[in-house]
Amino acid sequence: MDVQNFDLNTQHLILNTILTKQRIIAHFDLDSFFVSVEILNNPSLKGKPVIVGGRERGVVAACSYEARKFGIHSAMPSSKARQLCPQAIFVSGTRGEYSRYSRWVTDIIAAKAPLFEKASIDEFYLDLTGMDKFFKPLKWTIELRNEIMHTTGLPISFGLSSNKMMAKIATNQAKPNGFLQVPFGKEKDFLAPLPVEEIPGVGGHTQEVLAYLGIKTIRQISETPLALLEERLGKWGTDLKNKSLGIHVSEVTPFHEAKSISTENTFDKPVTDLVFINKELVKFTEKICYELRQDSKLTGCITVKIRYPDFETTTKQVSIDYTNADDEIIPVVKAIFKQLHKKGKPVRLLGVRLSDLTNDAVQANLFIDNEKKNELYKTIDEVKNRFGKTLLKRASSG
């Protein structure tokens, strides 16, 4: 069947039926995650306008709902936030704690959910399709949320619907500290009154284009002729039309099959020179850290692989605080190699892999203690982009 042969409304109906039939997706998102962790570690912050970020310089990495009432939002310059709310309490981030709590929540979800994706350090999609034969998905999801809150002490919200986009929008409507189900078939009605910027991916530019057409709500998008949306927004206009009707196709990527970034090299002759091997490890790590930053991702797990001339192959992996900085990852890579390597034995193949990748969605690169470092890596990466990736190397990878 070629869907294109039908008129647009029928096309949507068919796609809707094919794509969303029987799918049940939950989206979980920890509420103002960084701030919630800070409050757990210092309960006197509770109920106050709290900002994670530098007081004197830098930007707001996260802020409490009390701070948001003053118009403060993440990525705002700290100086502006101070003007809006002079009594705001600034705390510098504790990345190790955020990594620890993120893993704790991940473990709780992993123990219960048959299929889930970790979309960022504080965000998860669960595919519960088929589960309705055994449980009531809403009841099950409420119980999971209660378990996360009672075990970790962190507030978390969820949305439950027929695809990832709908579930995420539902979560945003449920926040803070709530949950919301949009039943199958009610997607379009639920979206209709919401402002256009509730659709993920609608930013300043799209808003401007839509406003020029007099479009402010999602209902108005759904009622605008597709040809007009395509004329103004190209292919994105088609996506937007589908999204305004609650249609979105995207699979939940299983956590353990999530992408990793790796590099390895088989040497022409087995190598025993440890100075050379360490230089190689640095070179590999710099290469994949660069890729990580280009993808705006963080890694939480490092693996080193060694193969000996007799083809014996060993690997060892270590979990770390989420990062994408060469200088934090290189020492770990070297340390893993040192533990793993059989002393004196020549090495035939060497590899480094970064996994447990999460999107840098929570401005992890805005951490104040990393601000200078981030600037440095930004400059390094810009030079690499412009002049080729091999030009700039750490001195030791020489």
Q: Which residues are catalytic?
A: 123
Q: Is 38 in the site for Mg ion (CB under 5 A)?
A: no
Residue 33 CB, nearest approach to Mg ion (Å):
5
Mask of contacts with Mg ion, 267-296, x by CB under 5 A?
------------------------------
Mask of contacts with Mg ion, 378-397, x by CB under 5 A?
--------------------
Per CB under 5 A, the segment of 122-130, 142-150, 206-214, 370-378 that binds Mg ion is 122-130
Q: Which is nearer to Mg ion, 113 or 215 (CB)?
A: 113
Q: Which is nearer to Mg ion, 24 or 35 (CB)?
A: 35
Residue 13 CB, nearest approach to Mg ion (Å):
34
Are 292 and 276 within 8 A, CB to CB? Answer: no
Residue 253 CB, nearest approach to Mg ion (Å):
19
Mask of contacts with Mg ion, 15-34, x by CB under 5 A?
--------------xx--x-
The β-bridge relationship of strands 60-63 and 50-53 is: antiparallel
Q: Which is nearer to Mg ion, 11 or 94 (CB)?
A: 94
| Of residues 88, 33, 100, the one with CA closest to residue 61 | 33
Per CB under 5 A, the segment of 46-54, 119-127, 296-304, 337-345 that binds Mg ion is 119-127
Q: Which is nearer to Mg ion, 41 or 177 (CB)?
A: 177
193 CB burial (10 A radius; 0-12, 13-18, 19+):
exposed
Are 349 and 306 within 8 A, CB to CB? Answer: yes
The 8 Å CB, 24+ separation contacts for 216-222 are: 217/192, 217/193, 218/191, 218/192, 218/193, 218/194, 218/244, 219/191, 219/192, 219/193, 219/244, 220/196, 221/196, 222/188, 222/191, 222/192
Q: Which is nearer to Mg ion, 355 or 359 (CB)?
A: 359
Q: Is 122 in the site for Mg ion (CB under 5 A)?
A: yes
Per CB under 5 A, the segment of 83-91, 116-124, 280-288, 386-394 that binds Mg ion is 116-124
Segments in the chain forming alpha helices (H): 8-20, 33-41, 65-68, 78-84, 95-112, 137-152, 164-174, 187-191, 204-212, 218-223, 226-233, 235-244, 274-294, 326-340, 371-387
Q: Which is nearer to Mg ion, 33 or 377 (CB)?
A: 33
Q: Is 360 in the site for Mg ion (CB under 5 A)?
A: no
Residue 170 CB, nearest approach to Mg ion (Å):
14
Total residues interacting with Mg ion, rule: CB under 5 A: 4
Residue 362 CB, nearest approach to Mg ion (Å):
7
12 CB burial (10 A radius; 0-12, 13-18, 19+):
buried
Task: For residues 175 and 167, give the distance between their C-alpha atoms in angstroms, rounded to a whole number.
Answer: 12
Task: For residues 91 and 72, give the distance between their C-alpha atoms in angstroms, rounded to a whole number.
Answer: 15
Residue 115 CB, nearest approach to Mg ion (Å):
21
| Binding positions for Mg ion, rule: CB under 5 A | 29-30, 33, 122
